[in-house]
Chain A
Amino acid sequence: MKIEIFYTPGCSDCVAAHAKLRTAAQESVKDLEWRELNVLNDLDYAVELGVLTLPSIAVDGELVFTSMPTVAQLREVLLKRSGART
């Protein structure tokens, strides 16, 4: 499962949140591909996915969160999706 988090640098709260979300994702999904994308470096890709607000999170190329989720919200989505895959 590929998780992409779109962000803008310079947000110290975001860095801490990313680490927590990443840990939660690693605990929830076995085949995890975690990418943190500076939206300015990947603007075309962000626009293609429909990213309009930051931070946003896409799972397997689909925009799922348009603001920072809680660890519980992310875990719930990932478990639901990994359950649907099997």
Chain B
Amino acid sequence: MFTIGKLASLTSVSNDTLRYYEQEGLIEPAGKSPAGYRLYDTDSARRIRFIKHAQNCGFTLAEIRELLALRARDKACCGDVRTRAVEKKLQIEGKIRAMKAMSKALEQLIADCANETQPVNECTIIAALERAAVSTPVQ
């Protein structure tokens, strides 16, 4: 059994993060020391590594909670996890596409601003952004 400090050093996660994970129900102490300190077991360390890997793949903590629940559910199968992984990939691909569109829009603005010595009130980028602001209704 580990104290929170020991668990933090084993998993390279800060004490504050571990407390947050505990508040969020992602990990829970396996017991308490005679002095009343929370103690964690190897399953907590395993769950924290799982959380870190899943975060590296883009999963949010809410999604990771679902994955952990799936892991513990007898009736769940790998297909359930795979579907979530595919959905995450779709989200990431969608974001990549949106960011590429933003990059392209910026590329156009940059190309249109050929004369960088112009005063700022004649800057084509600012003018173009102002035009865009006029044509986009404020929500």
Contact = CB atoms under 8 A, between A and B. Distances in A.
A5 interface: no
A86 B78 CA distance: 45
Contacts of B90: 39, 43, 46-47, 51-54
Given A47-B93, A47-B97, A52-B91, A40 B86 contact: yes
Interface string B115-132: 000000000000000000
B82 A43 contact: no
Question: Is chain A's binding surface mostly helix, strand, loop or mixed?
Answer: loop
Which bracket fits the contact residues of A? 10 to 19
B82 A8 contact: yes
A53 B97 CA distance: 17
A61 interface: no
A10 B93 contact: no
Contacts, number: 35
A7 to B, nearest CB: 9
Contacts of A10: 77-79, 82
Interface string B78-121: 11001100110111011001000000000000000000000000
Nearest to A55: B83
Interface in A5-46: 8, 10-11, 39-40, 43-44, 46
20 contacts: A8-B79, A8-B82, A10-B77, A10-B82, A11-B79, A11-B83, A39-B90, A43-B89, A46-B90, A47-B90, A47-B93, A47-B97, A48-B97, A52-B87, A52-B90, A53-B87, A53-B90, A54-B83, A54-B86, A54-B87
Interface of A: 8, 10-11, 39-40, 43-44, 46-48, 50-54
